[in-house]
Amino acid sequence: MPDLHVGILAADLTDKAGWSQYSLSMIQALHRAGIRLTVITARNSPPMDGIDVLPILPTVDPLDRGMLARMAAIYPQARAALQSCAVIHTFIEPYAPLAALVAGKRPLLITGHGSYVRAAQARPAPIRALYGWAFRRALVVCVSRYTAQIIAHTIPRVRSSVINNGVNFEHFGAIQHIGGTVPTVLSVGAVKERKGTLQLARAIAIVRDSIPNVQCHIVGTFDAEPETVQRVRETINELNLGDQVHLLGRVPDVELMRLYAAADVFALPSVNVNWKFEGYGLSLIEASAARLPVIGSRDCGAEDAIQDGITGLLIAQGELMESQLAAAIIRLLQDRAGARRMGEAGHAWAQTQTWDHAAAHLIDAYRKELDPLSRHQPHPKSLSENRRGT
């Protein structure tokens, strides 16, 4: 589709965080689909093979101070770089005001991931108004139904559509799952409050009473919330979990693939914390691709990443979360046949949830936004339901 030229504002094109991984994977998928792209990225972004990238945007990891002032300073350069594009799309929410200014009268899309669809509401009134204007100017492409619900409540009169995240199936689906020599739980995500790392550690203490040799490997950066890392470590010590719960930090990809292959259960017990929530949970669908049964939380985007009772189990957040999480882990570790069925179902489902699949739906959204007769018609919000087989 060489006639479609899309201007993209993106985070650093790496796999360090959900934002950046989405940007990298979706740009690659759009490029494979033959879409002409002009990409401007965070100034700390590496180059990208086969695609011209202009790294001028403020950084989001780490988050630059004075984000609005920095965006205002580079507005002329961004406008010039994207002047020939038919559609403007910011792949992360913080760039929304700049994207709206650059778009002018052209179609504008904003990807709504999770927490930052309502982050601006905690800022002073002028900033709230600016972000509200940008979001109402756009079609917000939400990565989950939960994200769409949040933005509908946060910023009324916003048009939205749901296109779930994808998975690099060729990478994760190629893992030869062998399971652990001892019962093993894996979790992948930054060690921070929202990821439920503390709840997972406490749940493992309960699991240990039924399965004494249980092991839990937690992979993810310690940089995001050092205070949460300290609390988790203190909990591990207090509950005498040093032989069961292992904080591994970031690991090389080869080691991560080995950990996926050797695990029996994957758990990401996300927790809503103030305005922060799990927008989707990319590691859940990656674990499904790797044939692991997965456990996640209700009332967040994980409800789109897990087919409850088919590819894994959803547990409730709240006071009973740790006991429910422990019960789910015990169930899957003790029912090996049932866990294997869920893992195989997840593998088959993940094969239909690739980034190419997600990009095809995004291209449809671009086409519709360019059609003046359909631009203001409601976009389908049932994509995630269709992908869940309901």
pLDDT tens-digit profile of 365-390?
A: 999 999 876 655 655 554 444 343 33
The residues with which 216 forms a beta bridge, in sequence order, are: 185, 245
Which of the four pLDDT bands, split at 50, 70 and 90, describes residue 51?
confident
Q: How many CB atoms lie within 10 A of CB 177?
A: 16
Q: Which of 28, 106, 13, 125 is nearest to 60 (CA)?
A: 13
pLDDT tens for 147-175 read: 999 999 988 889 999 999 999 999 999 99
pLDDT tens for 103-115 read: 999 999 999 998 7
pLDDT tens for 192-233 read: 999 999 999 999 999 999 999 999 999 999 988 999 999 999
Residue 379's pLDDT is what?
59
Which of the four pLDDT bands, split at 50, 70 and 90, describes residue 282?
very high
pLDDT tens for 292-332 read: 999 999 999 999 999 999 999 999 999 999 999 999 999 99
The mean of the pLDDT values for the chain is 91
The residues with which 266 forms a beta bridge, in sequence order, are: 186, 294
Which of the four pLDDT bands, split at 50, 70 and 90, describes residue 133?
very high
Q: Tell me the CA distances in angstroms from 65 to 7, 68, 116, 220, 244, one per residue in order.
A: 25, 9, 16, 25, 40
Check residues 173 and 126 and name the one with the higher pLDDT: 173
E strand or H helix that includes residue 39: strand 36-42
Which of the four pLDDT bands, split at 50, 70 and 90, describes residue 117?
confident
Angle between helices 282-289 and 336-350 (to 10 degrees): 110
Residue percentage of the chain with pLDDT more than 70: 94
Residue 120's pLDDT is what?
67
How far is residue 197's CA from residue 177's CA, in Å, rounded to a whole number? Answer: 24
141: tokens are: 């492409």
Sign of the C-alpha dihedral computed for residues 246, 249, 250 and 252 taken in this order:
negative
Answer yes or no: is pLDDT of 29 > 90: yes
Q: Tell me the CA distances in angstroms from 70 to 56, 100, 111, 119, 215, one per residue in order.
A: 10, 15, 21, 18, 46
Average pLDDT over residues 16-23: 85
Average pLDDT over residues 167-186: 92
Residue 383's pLDDT is what?
47
pLDDT tens for 243-269 read: 999 999 999 999 999 999 999 999 999
Average pLDDT over residues 97-107: 96
Radius of gyration of the chain (CA): 21
Check residues 110 and 121 and name the one with the higher pLDDT: 110
Residue 389's pLDDT is what?
35
Sign of the C-alpha dihedral computed for residues 3, 9, 14 and 18 taken in this order:
negative
Q: Which of 278, 336, 337, 330 is nearest to 306 (CA)?
A: 278
Answer yes or no: is pLDDT of 47 > 80: yes
Per DSSP, 295 falls in state E
Domains and CATH numbers, the chain: 5-166+354-380+382-386 (3.40.50.2000), 169-350 (3.40.50.2000)
